[in-house]
Amino acid sequence: MKPIIAVNAKAYYPHSFGSSLLKILRALDKIAIEYNVETILAPPFTELKEARLASERTKIYAQHVDEVDPGAVTGRIPVEGIKDIVHGSIVNHSERQLTLSAIHQVIAKLKNYGLDSLVCTPRPETAAAVSLLNPSMVAMEPPELIGTGISVSKAKPELITETIEQVRKTGFTGPILVGAGISSGEDVRKALELGAQGVLVASAVVKAKDPYEKLREFAGAIK
Ligand code: G3P
């Protein structure tokens, strides 16, 4: 399994949109080749199509998708609406919380269309609970560290170890990612040393002056 670097672009402005977003995508494509890592980018909805067309290596995920069926559902996004544009979707996030039943439905719908599901959860116990729903990937991100620049690897390494332990106990064999505050190569190296298969990161890459340099630092730290 290749190490995974997943970037959630969120909705930083102007960083997550237009030419700035494409710059991040190009940087991810480059490091995917140079460091033999798997790269994922989750752009805002408005940028999905363009990102998918421009992507050479990087998988494009939606940041969210609703559990609804297509029809009279104003302002919501059914899986059917994006299934031909994306490789998968983030499912649930501290900033976009879903009920357990919605998480279950969305994973099933994505799977039905051959798409990946990356389910984010705040704690080891919740990561273990959602892994029973058999998503493609599980991520654990303590909300109190998100966007702080203080990484889960340094501030709460025990949560990474517990997540790996508890999720693997359920029989889940897919990749387990960790995130929140990941800012340096050292943070990435430590997360992988503690047993994660990759990282889920936002601000350190999206707001970096040079996203390519930041991503090189991350990928270069993986042994
Ligand atoms: O989904 C990734 C995210 O919540 C982590 O954000 O800015 O702490 O890397 P950040």
What would the pLDDT profile of 185-217 be if each residue is shown by its tens digit? 999 999 999 999 999 999 999 999 999 999 999
Partnered with residue 62 across adjacent β-strands are 89
Total domain count for the chain?
Answer: 1
User: Can 50 be counted among the known catalytic residues?
Assistant: no
What would the pLDDT profile of 51-77 be if each residue is shown by its tens digit? 999 999 999 999 999 999 999 999 999
Are the CB atoms for 78 and 48 separated by under 8 Å?
no
Exposure string of 47-83, with b = 16+ CB inside 10 Å and e = fewer, is bbebbbeebeebbbbbbbbbbbeeeeeeeebbbebbb
| 127: CATH | 3.20.20.70
CA of 218 to the centre of ligand 1 (A): 14
Q: What is the dihedral of CA 68, 73, 79, 80, to 10 degrees?
A: 120
For residue 110, the SS3 value is helix
The residues near 16 (Cβ < 8 Å, ≥ 6 apart) are: 9, 10, 43, 44, 47, 206
ipTM: 0.98
For residue 137, the SS3 value is strand
User: Can 141 be counted among the known catalytic residues?
Assistant: yes
| Ligand 1 pocket mutation, candidates 95, 200, 207, criterion most atoms within 8 A of CB | 200
What would the pLDDT profile of 119-173 be if each residue is shown by its tens digit? 999 999 999 999 999 999 999 999 999 999 999 999 999 999 999 999 999 999 9
Q: Tokens 């047993």 identify what position?
A: 195
CA of 10 to the centre of ligand 1 (A): 8
**Which residues constitute the domain of residue 136?**
4-222
